[in-house]
Structure 1
Amino acid sequence: MVKKSNNDLFILSNREIKWLYKNNNSNNWIIKTIITFNQCKCLDFSVVRYNENKFIIYFGEYKRNDLMGPVKLFAYYSDKNTTIEISNFDKNFINHIHSIIPDLQRKQLFILTGDFGERVGIYIIKMEDYFNYSKPIPYKVGSQIYRAAWGYLYNDELIYATDSQIDENYLIALDIKNKSISKLAILESSSIYSFKSNYNIYFSTVVEPKKFKNRSVFNYFSKNYAFNMNYYYLYNFDLSKKSLIKIQSKKKSFIPAGISGFGTYKFCGQCDNFFYIREQG
């Protein structure tokens, strides 16, 4: 995953985030590892500039966490080259964090969480400033309709796709003022990966196994996919027109998802008017 802020690039790969920037003196590109994940992974991250030369990277713990232990949220501060814990979920709340979406206009962060239970869904964290944050506050929780891996703010709405292998999936518009949701479209399966360019959101659905009742090693070889779906799809949603276009689809390979990974399209980054994707599984 690659994200751009000003002229800098931020790359999420394996268990680290790298910062790619130009040296002001030599004009050469420099790559620097700024965040390393040890005991857990990160599914997504957000970059916020709080002046021309300083930035913050927000991310949260992404781990299996079946027993719903505590889950932490972090911020990396470029001027101090340090990562600190800014907030956390107590035990028995959520499994993990999918994404953090800054809403600077309202001085808050939207927190998208997974996966199951009565407290899964969307939370907010209030920002006193860039250094002081509240505990997570339930915003829309308790249903798979509020379970999402990505989201984008547009006007007074949060646009997201649901990420469920047990309930039907939708493209959703959440009205931030009155907290109501509108189902914009039905999707074939859950969505984990996305990419935004100007007024366009590109996203993919996934071929993934149904929810397993145990952690048997045989699950890795299962082809018992959610919704009996063995195709994954690539979509474009135009924010300005609220129109959805199905770009293409592909059949999942014969290799079980537990071995090859979920069948999906992943977004690698953008250059000029092109963006790059790769197929998985």
Structure 2
Amino acid sequence: MTKLNAHDVVQLARSSKRLRTIEIIDYITDSFIECHGDRYYGDDSAVIGGIGLISGEPVTLIGIQKGQTLEENIDTHFGSPSPEGYRKSLRLMKQAEKFNRPIITLVNTPGAYCGIEAEERGEGEAIARNLLEMSQLGVPILSIMTGEGGSGGALALAVANDVWMLEHSIYSVLSPEGFASILWKDSLRASEASDIMKLIAPDLKELHVIDKIISERSDEGLLSHETILEQLKSDIINQLGIYKSKSVDDIKSERYKRFRQF
């Protein structure tokens, strides 16, 4: 099978046909109860969060949801969370710590919502608060990039003990278009930017930014969604088993050391 370049992966990561957060949650959990609201302002449709059972073990799942229709994308701001989305996430993470549940985050966002109303409600503070609080949580956090992982909007759910990526996902400080606009004053050079930004899974694995790549293709071609989900669920169950053997101090220390290496 022809090797994909970085620009090809960017297009796949942004595809409307990618697995959505709710589809992943429905497959990997035996049951799931969704929770709503940040207890400050409102609810954010771009962030799905709640409590689920994976192989009988309770976990907290939080994911960024994109739409597949124009109406869904408008409702979710094309997968760009607002401040209340990040605050809802933090509320659920603190709840998970209280009841000693592992946390799994599923990230697929071009970045935080940049509308003026989001700024008025404290977008920057909400993201910064998540970074601070996640760094100190006493339960394990597993973060999985499932599509786009854009800037602080993605990092706000990725201060984790382990960070994984689906093979055709991306993770970077900004978009290739933004990179090209800043460096060359020409967003049309986004394809060229993609090749030098080190935003695809193999490059990030080599740099130790991520810990694991979930395959999305074989020598014969692209894998089916069901095959990808089956492998993802198996890997998650194995990882949850590893976390069980670790103390609270181990969890905090390993997360701290992971990010101090950069």
Instruction: Report if TM-score (shorter chain) is over 0.5.
Output: no
Greater fraction of residues in strand: 1
- Report the TM-score when normalising by structure 2: 0.28
TM, length-normalised to structure 1: 0.27
Select the structure that is richer in helix.
2
